[in-house]
Structure 1
Amino acid sequence: MRQRIVTGVLAGALFVALTIAGGWFYTGLLILLAIIGFTEYVTMNGFRWHHPASLLGYAGVLLFVLPWDELGVTAPSVLTIIWMLAFLLLAVTVITKNRTTIDGAALMLLGALYVGYGFAAMNEVRQAGEDGLFWTFLAFGCIWASDIGAYFVGRALGRTKLWPSISPNKTIEGAAGGILLALVVAVIGSWMEPSVLELPEALMFGLLAAIAGQFGDLIQSAYKRVRDIKDTGKLLPGHGGVLDRCDSWIIVFPLLVLVGLLPT
């Protein structure tokens, strides 16, 4: 437990500092996390990092997460990246005479989108003008509030299992507590910056962030059960890998961007 707390505090402090610094400090961190996260995904699915399908997946992740505008290059659209990556992965199944199957190609396409666009959305929000830092911390605040509320309310009041076949310790009462605390954080954000975030929008923001964040956690739990593993990696002692820690982030940020609640 002590190792878990120390690791969490140090990693959290570094992450907050780089987020505040912004620019290439934050961008570089997200690129690194995306690469490590995709490596965990590749390993979970029984691929080697240098497999042709894996290499194409890494390329797809980088195409998503690199800040093309800052590099002075016209950014390819998300649809362009997805289609080209799908075509190349399907071409690999032909070139390898099905030693790389269509199932493997689909896994790498899904992983590149899941990991790559997830971290790309975080970077887009942070770079979104003078309010980018506010929106970034509001999203993370709602995610973390949901986690904290779900944990403590679940421990204190949890009786009804939420989804025992996927995550046996989660309860409906805990999930509700997480949603409530995320709403509180969103309302505080609206109170602090009323000209940026109005109250009705804040309530929708907190609700979606909490629900999507909890689904992000359940998605990763379900995947680990299928692969029969406890953690996705060993990057952070006591905390597991990047996908263990960022599973909510890479669902919440893209969703809030796509529904227009986060600017890019």
Structure 2
Amino acid sequence: MGAGMSELAKRVLVAVILIPIVLIVLYYRGLPLVKTLLIITFLGSWEYAQMLNKAGIKIHYVWLVFNSLFYLAFVYIKGKDLSLLWLVLFLAIGEAILTWEKELSVPRLFAVLFGFVYTALFPALIARLGLYYAEHNFLLALILLIWIVDSVAYFAGIKIGKHRNITAISPQKSLEGFIAGVLAPWLILIILYICKVEILPFSYLALLAVASGIFGQIGDLAESMLKRFCKVKNSSNLLPGHGGILDRCDSCLFAGSFLYCALEILTKVR
């Protein structure tokens, strides 16, 4: 019981320290946001390499540096995305050719490329969301909605979750919890509409609801898939009581990158 309480105390203490920092960074955006996401990229790349190493796919730690540099390039060099993606592919294939191992090189190549997308490109798109859509603080709204979705899905799963095992990746997740998570942001939008609180145009609010309710939960499942493949419980133990950086950011990585891409399409179509 004491050990359980101490674990809970650690969890609460880390949350009490981190939540205000996260909210301040999201409020001010700019350089604090870019620096924070650079740290997430570096530590996330380290966690990813550690996990894959346990699965027998050894990713060279030089990719921690490459991912960090490419993260910065994607944040600040807008309009050269295809050239940067080609360069990443070239480096990954070059490494595979130079370190060729019949059974391992191709799986390692794909693991490196997915690791780049997951730990460097996604954070870069989130940084762009904060920098290039600064007139509306989409990122702050998204993170708050993801926290609400996570809480609603968790408690709905505990209280009314009857249909579990909907995916072999995360057998404890229930269909009812997932649906409650999808509906939660829409319920908030309806309340705002009824109260005549006009924060953003409806098209933007709808994208926020889809990003947090659907893509946030998919991000959680994607990381569960990765951990199940690597046979680990957490991505690391960097955050006592919370696991690792990727454990805390999995929903945001997918939801934030989706929201940025959706907003880019929406503004171009208009």
The TM-score with structure 2 as length reference comes to 0.83
State the distance in 1 between where 2:267 and 2:256 align: 10
Q: What amino acid is aligned across from residue 107 of structure 2 in structure 1?
A: D
After superposition, where does 1:180-219 map in structure 2 within 5 Å?
A: 180-187=183-190, 192-194=197-199, 196-198=200-202, 201-219=204-222
Going by fraction, where is helix more abundant, 1 or 2? 2
Is the contact between residue 45 and residue 63 of structure 2 (CA under 8 Å) also seen in structure 1?
Answer: no
The Cα offsets for residues 61-119 of structure 1, whole Å up to 9 and x where unpaired, read as 431345754xxxx4463322222111122112222243861221221111011111211
State the distance in 2 between where 1:52 and 1:238 align: 27
Higher alpha-carbon deviation: 27-36 or 200-209:
200-209
Question: What's the Cα RMSD here?
Answer: 2.7
Higher alpha-carbon deviation: 151-160 or 99-108:
99-108
In structure 1, the residue corresponding to 2:238 is in which secondary structure?
Answer: coil
State the distance in 2 between where 1:103 and 1:183 align: 40
Alpha carbons of structure 1 residues 67 and 80: separation in structure 2 relative to 1, 3 Å = closer
Alpha carbons of structure 1 residues 77 and 68: separation in structure 2 relative to 1, 3 Å = same
- In structure 1, what is the equivalent of residue 117 of structure 2? 113
State the distance in 1 between where 2:180 and 2:240 align: 28
State the distance in 2 between where 1:189 and 1:61 align: 39
Identity of aligned residues (%): 24
Shift of 1:154: 1.1
Shift of 1:15: 1.0
State the distance in 1 between where 2:205 and 2:11 align: 33
State the distance in 1 between where 2:182 and 2:80 align: 33
Q: Number of aligned pairs?
A: 254
Shift of 1:163: 2.7
State the distance in 2 between where 1:38 and 1:187 align: 39
Q: What amino acid is aligned across from residue 101 of structure 2 in structure 1?
A: N
Alpha carbons of structure 1 residues 252 and 186: separation in structure 2 relative to 1, 3 Å = farther
Is the contact between residue 41 and residue 68 of structure 2 (CA under 8 Å) also seen in structure 1?
Answer: yes
Structure 1: stretches of 5+ with no match in the other structure: none
- In structure 2, what is the equivalent of residue 2 of structure 1? 9
State the distance in 2 between where 1:260 and 1:79 align: 19
Q: 1:46 aligns with which of 46, 53, 61?
A: 53
- In structure 1, what is the equivalent of residue 88 of structure 2? 85
Higher alpha-carbon deviation: 234-243 or 38-47:
38-47
State the distance in 2 between where 1:125 and 1:68 align: 10
Q: 2:107 aligns with which of 103, 106, 112?
A: 103
Shift of 1:225: 0.9
The Cα offsets for residues 198-223 of structure 1, whole Å up to 9 and x where unpaired, read as 2x552353134211111111111111
Q: What amino acid is aligned across from residue 157 of structure 1 in structure 2?
A: I
Alpha carbons of structure 1 residues 235 and 193: separation in structure 2 relative to 1, 3 Å = farther
Check if 1:251 corresponds to 2:251: no
Is the contact between residue 143 and residue 210 of structure 1 (CA under 8 Å) also seen in structure 2?
Answer: yes
- In structure 1, what is the equivalent of residue 4 of structure 2? none
Check if 1:152 corresponds to 2:155: yes
- In structure 2, what is the equivalent of residue 13 of structure 1? 20
Q: 1:64 aligns with which of 64, 71, 82?
A: 71
The Cα offsets for residues 192-245 of structure 1, whole Å up to 9 and x where unpaired, read as 444x322x5523531342111111111111111111100001111000001101
Structure 2: stretches of 5+ with no match in the other structure: 1-7
The TM-score with structure 1 as length reference comes to 0.85
Higher alpha-carbon deviation: 96-105 or 225-234:
96-105
Is the contact between residue 44 and residue 119 of structure 2 (CA under 8 Å) also seen in structure 1?
Answer: yes
The Cα offsets for residues 172-211 of structure 1, whole Å up to 9 and x where unpaired, read as 11111112222234456775444x322x552353134211
Alpha carbons of structure 1 residues 197 and 91: separation in structure 2 relative to 1, 3 Å = same
Shift of 1:145: 1.6
Higher alpha-carbon deviation: 119-128 or 158-167:
158-167
